[in-house]
Amino acid sequence: MKKIKNNNKILSKEEIIHLANLSNIVLSKEEITKYQSQLTDTLEYIENINKLETKGVDPTSNVLDLQNVFFEDGDENKRSLKNVLKGYFTVKRVL
Amino acid sequence: MNNFEPVIGLEIHIELSTKSKMFCQCSSDYFGKEPNSHVCPVCLGLPGALPVPNKKAIEYLIKIARALNCKINKTSKFDRKHYFYPDLPKGYQISQYDEPISVNGKVYIGKDKQIRITRVHMEEDTGKLIHTGNKTLIDFNRSGVPLVEIVTEPDFSNSDDVKIFLEDLQTTIRYLNVSDADMEKGSMRLEPNISIKKKNGKMADYKVEIKNINSFKFVKKAIDYEIKRQIELLKKGITPKQETRGFDEKLQKTYTQRIKEQAHDYRYFPEPDIPPMVFSKDYLNSIFSDIPELPNKRIERYIKDFKIKYTDAYILTRNKIMSDYFERALEKVIKSLTNDKKTQNIEQSIANFIINKKIPISLSLEEFTNRAIKLLSPKETDINLLNNVIKDVIKNNEKVVFDYKKGKQNAIMFLVGQVMKNIKGKAEAKVVLSELKKELG
Amino acid sequence: MNLIGKSLLDIKNLISSKKISSSEVYDYFLKRIKKYNPKLNAFLSFKNKPDITKSIDNALLGIPLGVKDNFCTLSSQKEKTTAASLVLDNHYSYYESTVTRRLKDNGGIVIGKTNMDAWAHGSSTETSDYGSTKNPWDMKRVPGGSSGGSAAAVSSYIVPATIGSDTGGSIRNPSSWCGVIGLKPSYGRVSRYGVIAMGSSFDCPGTLTMSVEDSAYLLKIIAGKDKYDATTSYEKVPDYYSNLNSKKKYVIGISDEYFKDVDNEVKEKIINALKIFEKQGHKIKKIKLISPKLAVSIYTILQRAEVSSNLARYDGVRYGNNRTYFGDEAKRRIMFGSYTLSYGYYDAYYKKAQKARTLIIEDFKKAFSEVDLIISPTTPTTALKLGEFKKYPFFGEIMDILNEPASVAGIPAINIPVGLDSKGLPIGLQIIGKSYDEQSILNLAYMFEKETDFFGVIKKGIKKYE
């Protein structure tokens, strides 16, 4: 649940836990509390971005003017790790 | 089934037969190779590695999209799709989200059933997992192989149509020569999503995705089982759970794959390492012009120009090599026949020879033509042999000969039959009749 | 031979005129590293013997260089690439980055890997899992970051030049606090292949040197299109060094927004430098730019989103250790990034920031239609004390407030030292240029160097380590 305080959002414990799951990170109880306030602080600062009027503005995904950058199929593979790695990687059994 | 109507949509993945992988120069021919022998920093997701897209893979996708009558978007880009799983080395898959290469296509199954294609987009394959004991082994040879994802609208209402669609799709893709689209090898993968609605009612508010259908022969079984399972639940007043289910080949049932289904938050955002793609008309036209005549158009042409039956045209065009051969053989045979021998429907006859395997298509065109002409020509009769057989028949059928000479005209037909039997098809009935008449006077 | 204070090009000339051999040069700096690094902690690793390389008839003749430890390097002597994080404590790269490949192909030798903020997350080098680097000017202070090790190494002359990376100020900030020349090229000018990714649309490999000529010289070697990095530009690479021009006159823009909340002593030295530029015949013009505070927000959102994505591959399965080895700052940034990309928040944060980014780019384009270059302080303060960052909420981005706008726009910028404050700490001036106009930036910096010799700042710094 989000608590709204003067237009500033305070991140809840559940949200931090959810973020940790999304990020594949394990947090201790202390860390959850710490990050609650720290991430909220950061969110508060960046709220100023709403001062900028962006209606009708295109988003920039790439500062460059490049387009259609490809490689040719069948090009020589100069980066093969064929004889560097041998065999399988292993992890604990996945469900 | 009464008033329940299945609603089925498909998600199909096609592994392309490019030489290189989607974002690096590793060979994409990974099947049966030593584990982790076709890897490099890029497809292994090593620190600092960067993707560069394979031009040919994009062209292959555009061909598939065009064959499905899709619109190719003028601009397109890649996006990152995030989730954690050991077979996904970067922790995200490079895929396409809101600006796919193509959208809004349609195909017809049979004469007039329309299936709408929602989108066709480009992405990369994951590594392979092997579960053994309390460990999971990971092989990244397949990681980064180009995958084309085809999504249809939920326009199917039964498994037969799905099967026809898939077979046609497979044939078309093989014509394009962009993939061997083999379900058993994993170069064509199907994930149907199935729900049931009431006839004339609104769409269901759930859908079940089926994974792990590894062979053409199980497509129908898996879908039918699932439809039955859902209807039984609905009859009891239970709404089937929205979930992903696997298909068990041995038991031929679907089963729950995940106990708790959490909707994935993939946190898509544009792939910053790859500049966007812009497709000019010239570029697209050059790709389109490289597309061969596709099976459905070919069928139309065979029916119109060659006047052969639809079912035969369909069979001939299942395989491009076979239908190419058919046309070339037909042309050669027609050229070789002298005018008086050009009778009836030669095209249908040649088609029959191939379909019924009367003449193998492994023969050279020269040999095929020779055999075909022999089969098409009227048989030449060996007169001496015929006369000997006639003499024998007359000798052995005194009563019938007597009847004929007495005026019973039909009796000669019996004799014709006897001669035909004894000469073992080496003469035409007309010729036998006229020779008999001569002999009998 | 005592090489103290000799620039990279000075040393090259000595080698090519056979006054000293490259192995003697290597030994010279190796000795200095062994003497001063234990206190400075500028290098995370270094090699007692040079890797074998061709050291004749090429641009670098076997001169040793320091490379920030987020560049993947190969060595026959087993060299780690850790990004200063315990996650990669046992990581030996399987391949070479394009930048270090180009340096090596031109005769350069990597003598060691320099310390940094772990994953380049920070502006002080304090988040390194291997202890902070100290500022050579005052051991109780930080060198800045995230390329703190690279800056400190040049400042104390334990290596003649280093390579760093600048995402939101990570070359310029420590260059300012250590009193060296730090260049962030245009985005796409230098290949990122083999650089451990932090903010993919911001990361720029660059140089830290003791002279502008060295910077120009090295830039030519490492810049240019790379087929392994689809975001490198096709723009031709000029011979920056040969083209150094000390006659050209420029129109220089100044924006009040970039002088807000800046220490008075810093302001003083920047204004002083501007007077010198005026005397040289350049024109100073007041311009209006969007507040850097907004660029900070844009940068923070986009960079952390990219960070959360780029760090997803570190799971300990194929290399390195698992995610429990991530430090505090990394975890914080990853989660914040996930937040701004997550369902329901993407439009309000990430997409909004992308649109705002366009506005910043347009803002600079407009400014550069009136001026050739823009000058500002590099950092609002001089070097902070160790541990002082704790009083700033999101320290990294705040300290880099004056650097982030150029990062957001992808345009080039350089730091040059322009004096010392009353504590004897270096003050840095930033010159920002148009996309792919590194030449003008280098020219102006060169003119300042020739006129003032940076008021002896670099020499003073090295003198402490004679």
- Tokens (6 digits) for C72: 């993947």
**C338, C308 contact by CB (below 8 A):** yes
**Residue C290: which of C376, C368, C360 has the closest Cα?**
C360
Of B50, B82, B138, the CB nearest to C193: B50
* Chain B interface test: which of A26, A71, A84 (most B C-beta within 10 Å): A71
Q: Which of C45, C55, C75, C170 is catalytic?
A: C170
Q: Could you tell me if B361 and B393 lie in one domain? A: no
| H helix runs in C18-147, sequence order | 22-40, 98-105
CA contacts within 13 A on the Cβ side of B358: 15
**In terms of CA atoms, which chain B residue is nearest residue C197?**
B48
Of B47, B84, B269, the CB nearest to C72: B47
What 3-state class would DSSP assign to B141? coil
| H helix runs in B41-140, sequence order | 41-44, 55-67
What domains does chain C contain, in order, with CATH numbers? 8-463 (3.90.1300.10)
Q: How far apart are CA B86 and CA B88, in angstroms?
A: 5
Q: Of B288, B319, B334, which residue constitutes the final position of a domain?
A: B288
Q: Are strands B4-15 and B188-198 parallel, antiparallel or unpaired?
A: antiparallel
DSSP C198-219: SSTTT-EEEEEESSHHHHHHHH
* Number of residues in chain C: 466
**pLDDT averages per 10-residue partition of chain C, 466 residues:** 94 96 96 98 97 88 97 95 98 97 97 98 95 98 97 98 97 98 98 98 98 98 98 97 96 97 96 98 98 94 97 97 96 95 92 96 97 98 91 73 97 98 98 98 98 97 94
Helix (H) or strand (E) holding B415: helix B411-423
Residues of chain B with pLDDT under 50: none
Distance from CA of C201 to the nearest CA of A (A): 7
Question: Which residues, other chains included, contact B335 with Cβ-Cβ below 8 Å and sequence gap of 6+?
Answer: none
C226: left (phi over 0), alpha (psi -120 to 50) or beta: beta
Q: Could you tell me if B18 and B122 lie in one domain? A: yes
Q: Could you tell me if B260 and B136 lie in one domain? A: yes
Residue-range definition of the domain harbouring residue B434: 383-440
Q: Do C352 and A49 touch (CB under 8 A)?
A: yes
pLDDT at B193: 95
Distance from CA of A81 to the nearest CA of B (A): 5
**C425, C431 contact by CB (below 8 A):** no
* Number of residues in chain A: 95
pLDDT at C150: 98
Distance from CA of A72 to the nearest CA of B (A): 6
Q: Are strands C64-68 and C109-114 parallel, antiparallel or unpaired?
A: parallel
**Strands lying side by side in the sheet with B208-211:** B71-72, B102-109, B113-124, B146-152, B4-15, B188-198, B208-211, B243-248, B253-256
Residues 180-199, chain C, touching A (beta carbon < 8 A): 187-188
* Chain C interface test: which of B50, B83, B129, B139 (most C C-beta within 10 Å): B50
Q: Could you tell me if B348 and B412 lie in one domain? A: no
Q: Is C113 on the interface with A (CB under 8 A)?
A: no
pLDDT at B381: 66
Q: Do B89 and C313 touch (CB under 8 A)?
A: yes
pLDDT at B376: 77
Q: How far apart are CA C187 and CA C180, in angstroms?
A: 21
- Tokens (6 digits) for B52: 């560069």
Contact pairs from chain B to chain C, CB under 8 Å: 99
Question: Which residues, other chains included, contact B204 with Cβ-Cβ below 8 Å and sequence gap of 6+?
Answer: B7, B195, B196, B197, B239
Q: Are strands C283-287 and C251-255 parallel, antiparallel or unpaired?
A: parallel
Residues 3-42, chain C, touching A (beta carbon < 8 A): none
**In terms of CA atoms, which chain C residue is nearest residue A37?**
C393
Q: Are strands B243-248 and B208-211 parallel, antiparallel or unpaired?
A: parallel
pLDDT at C398: 77
Residues 126-145, chain C, touching A (beta carbon < 8 A): none
**In terms of CA atoms, which chain A residue is nearest residue C350?**
A59
Q: Do C393 and A45 touch (CB under 8 A)?
A: yes
| Neighbouring C-beta atoms of residue A55, cutoff 10 Å | 5
Q: Do A69 and B139 touch (CB under 8 A)?
A: no
**Strands lying side by side in the sheet with B79-82:** B92-95, B79-82, B269-270
User: Which CATH number does the domain housing residue B433 bear?
Assistant: 1.10.10.410
Q: Could you tell me if B371 and B426 lie in one domain? A: no
Residue C68 bears catalytic tag: yes
Gyration radius of chain C's alpha carbons: 20
Q: Could you tell me if B360 and B399 lie in one domain? A: no
Distance from CA of A1 to the nearest CA of C (A): 14
**C376, C254 contact by CB (below 8 A):** yes
Residues 411-440, chain C, touching A (beta carbon < 8 A): none
Query: Interface partners of C (3+ CB pairs, < 8 Å)?
Result: A, B
Distance from CA of A17 to the nearest CA of B (A): 14
Residue C123 bears catalytic tag: no
* Chain A interface test: which of C313, C355, C360 (most A C-beta within 10 Å): C355
pLDDT at B162: 96
User: Which residues of chain B neighbour C88 with C-beta distances below 8 Å?
Assistant: 47
Percentage of chain A exceeding pLDDT 70: 89
Q: How far apart are CA C270 and CA C278, in angstroms?
A: 12
Question: Which residues, other chains included, contact B170 with Cβ-Cβ below 8 Å and sequence gap of 6+?
Answer: B181, B188
Distance from CA of A95 to the nearest CA of C (A): 16
Residues 71-100, chain B, touching A (beta carbon < 8 A): 77, 84-86, 91
Of B27, B86, B272, the CB nearest to A91: B86
pLDDT at C106: 97
Angle between helices C212-222 and C438-452 (to 10 degrees): 160
Q: How far apart are CA C335 and CA C337, in angstroms?
A: 5
**C160, C108 contact by CB (below 8 A):** no
| Neighbouring C-beta atoms of residue B421, cutoff 10 Å | 11
Q: Of B334, B350, B376, which residue constitutes the final position of a domain?
A: B376
Residues facing residue C190 across a β-bridge = C223
Q: Could you tell me if B61 and B207 lie in one domain? A: yes
Q: Could you tell me if B401 and B258 lie in one domain? A: no
Residues facing residue B224 across a β-bridge = none
Distance from CA of A29 to the nearest CA of B (A): 23
The rounded Cα B392 to chain-centroid distance in angstroms is 57
Q: Could you tell me if B238 and B368 lie in one domain? A: no
Q: Do A73 and B86 touch (CB under 8 A)?
A: no
ipTM score of complex:
0.96
Q: Which of C12, C47, C68, C220 is catalytic?
A: C68
Residue C355 bears catalytic tag: no
pLDDT at A6: 39
Q: Could you tell me if B217 and B354 lie in one domain? A: no
Q: Of B376, B396, B427, which residue constitutes the final position of a domain?
A: B376
**C216, C246 contact by CB (below 8 A):** no
User: Which residues of chain B neighbour A66 with C-beta distances below 8 Å?
Assistant: 275
Q: Could you tell me if B263 and B313 lie in one domain? A: no
**Structural domain count of chain B:** 3
Q: How far apart are CA C124 and CA C192, in angstroms?
A: 23
| Neighbouring C-beta atoms of residue B111, cutoff 10 Å | 6
**C357, A59 contact by CB (below 8 A):** yes
What pTM value is reported for the model? 0.91
Residues 23-62, chain A, touching B (beta carbon < 8 A): 24, 61-62
pLDDT at A9: 66
Question: Which residues, other chains included, contact B87 with Cβ-Cβ below 8 Å and sequence gap of 6+?
Answer: B126, B127, B128, B129, B138, B140, B143
Helix (H) or strand (E) holding C338: helix C328-341
Q: Is A93 on the interface with C (CB under 8 A)?
A: no
**Residue B70: which of B314, B392, B377, B287 has the closest Cα?**
B287
Q: Is A4 on the interface with C (CB under 8 A)?
A: no
Q: Do A22 and C187 touch (CB under 8 A)?
A: no
| Neighbouring C-beta atoms of residue C239, cutoff 10 Å | 11
Please state the rounded mean pLDDT for residues A22-47.
Answer: 92
Residue-wise pLDDT tens digits, B247-276: 998 999 999 886 555 668 999 999 999 999
Q: Could you tell me if B312 and B271 lie in one domain? A: no
Q: Do C230 and B45 touch (CB under 8 A)?
A: no
